[in-house]
Structures are given as C-alpha cells and as structure tokens.
Structure 1
C-alpha cells in the first residue's frame, strides 16, 4: 500500500467550538450542511497504547468533493488532539483515508516509524486510528476501513449537500 493509492476522504480541524467553526466555514466557503454528533460514543480508546477516555464532539459537512470535520475535545486527558494542540487552540489536525485492512496499515506505519497516536472504536463498531505523521506532513492521518455504516454516513453527508439551498446549516443528529 502506498499513500498515493489512497485519496483523501476528509479534512479535519481541531477547534474550541464545532458549531461556531462549522458556521464560519459555511459562510466563507458555502460548505455544509453540517451534521453534529455531540459526545461521540466510544467503546474503546487508547492514546499511544494506554487506555484513556476521549470525550469529543464532531461536526461533519461536505466541502466540494471532500468531507470536512470540526472536532472539539471536552475532557483534559491526553489524546491525539492534545498532541498537536496541548493548550487548546485550533487548526488542521488530520486528513482521513480509507484503508483495506486497518491492522496491516498500522503495522506498515509502525515499521516506517510513524506511531499510532490514538486507536479507538465507536459504540457502533467503527475502528479508527490517528497515525502521528506530524514530522513529515505537519498533521496526523486518520485511518479506517470503509464499512457499510461508514460509507453510508459519508454518502448521506454528500447527498445532503447536493443541491442544498443553504438553509439549516447546523443539524444535530444521534448515531
């Protein structure tokens, strides 16, 4: 596997307020609508191999051909987000890629010297990992396998943007 074979699926920013950031992005770029998930439920979370809680919320919207995410962390614990933004702040955090085999991709990155900064599994069973590529890329990579639930979510966000009139730009949902 080479990164050249993996198109970016999402660009994500760490921010102090996901709703404000999503609305500002919408106003500047016409992106959206944004679907907000408050306190994303996780069944597992590890930061650099150590189990740690990760309480975060995310807003997902379409920006042209790519999904854009705004994420905020609610708890002060160490995380892949706090690795880049230890005192809060905001900015580009990661680019997400779909991989055919998450375990194999993690092993390849480890062999190349890129540590797994965060490994987590959502309550719905989607595993994802943040690979620390900050030295080479300036941001993390998020990797996950394209399951029907995940690709269905991406398709729903893209479909909502298709022909969207700009109304109701921030929508809270539950998964």
Structure 2
C-alpha cells in the first residue's frame, strides 16, 4: 500500500503562505512552478480540456521531514473543477501518493467509492485525481511513478540543506 507523497493546501496568497510556513514551520525554500501547464487534461466524462484558464494555478513545494508540502494558489478555475476539488482555504486540499500503475490504483479507489475527477499529463508527469469518497473529506491525487516525482523529495531536501533562509521561493 503506498504512503503519502505530499499534502496540498489551497491558499489565497502564495507568497504570504510561503512566508508564514517558513516562519512557523522552519521549512524552505519552496520551489515554485508558476502557471502550471498541461499537455493533456481530460475530465472523468472524457471531455478534453484545451483552455489553459480552465485550471490556472501556481504550486510551491518544500521538503517537510519525510514528505512534501504543496501550497497552491488558483488564478482561475472552471466552476466544475472548483466544485469537484472543493477548493477552500480552511482545510487540506488533497493528499497525494505515487503508484506504478495509475489504472490499477484508480480502480482500487473507485472500488472503495472514490469517483474520478480528471487525468492530466505534462511531459513525463501523469496524474489522476479522485474525490475522497468515504476515505477522505478531500480529493486524492495519484502520480504515476517516474523520475520527476520519485526524485522530488531529494531535490527539495537538497535545496533545504545549507539554505540561508533568504530566497523563500525559487522558480523551478
């Protein structure tokens, strides 16, 4: 059974949230992926999305002990996706884990009562989102195992080693 890879939170102001996490948790720096773009974006009903504004967000990641903390700021989102995600600032946004087989893990989640939300691909990164069903009160993000995801914590931990606390956000 896979364990958590990262926990994600939606925030209204990314820079302020990063500053607060650095100050209170002592973690950082955050590596930032601005205006995340997808090669493909397919809703659970099979609808292909080509409009980049459908889900325009910036994500910032930092090593937090053995896991990764993700803070995400939404710039624009289609109402259907905002509802499916349950975007709010007062709770966890999603939990993510890595799997070798997205289809098998997705089928396992569906059998547990979690409905698919969408699948995306960006380069070597392939992701599937599910609602939490009876398992969690928030979505689940599954990542297909591969170098970008499997090496993420090591890259973040390396950035944190010897970090002088000055540059809180570094662009990926």
Give the TM-score normalised by structure 1: 0.84
Superposition pairs of residues 26-175 of structure 1, within 5 angstroms: 26-49=22-45, 50-52=47-49, 53-78=54-79, 80-85=81-86, 89-122=89-122, 124-173=123-172
Provide structure 1 residue ranges, at least 5 long, that are not aligned to the other structure. Answer: none
CA RMSD of aligned residues (A): 2.0
SS of aligned partner of 2:4:
coil
1:136 CA drift (Å): 2.8
Contact (CA 8 Å) 1:129, 1:144: kept in 2 or not?
yes
1:59 CA drift (Å): 0.4
Q: Provide the residue aligned with 1:16 in structure 2.
A: 12
Query: 1-side partners of 2:121 and 2:102: how far apart?
Result: 12
Query: 2-side partners of 1:98 and 1:147: how far apart?
Result: 9
SS of aligned partner of 1:75:
strand
Superposed CA offset, 1:41-72 (max 9, x none): 10111333333432111001111221100112
1:125 CA drift (Å): 2.9
1:94 CA drift (Å): 0.9
Give the total of aligned pairs: 167
Provide structure 2 residue ranges, at least 5 long, that are not aligned to the other structure. Answer: none
Query: 2-side partners of 1:98 and 1:74: how far apart?
Result: 26
Give the TM-score normalised by structure 2: 0.86
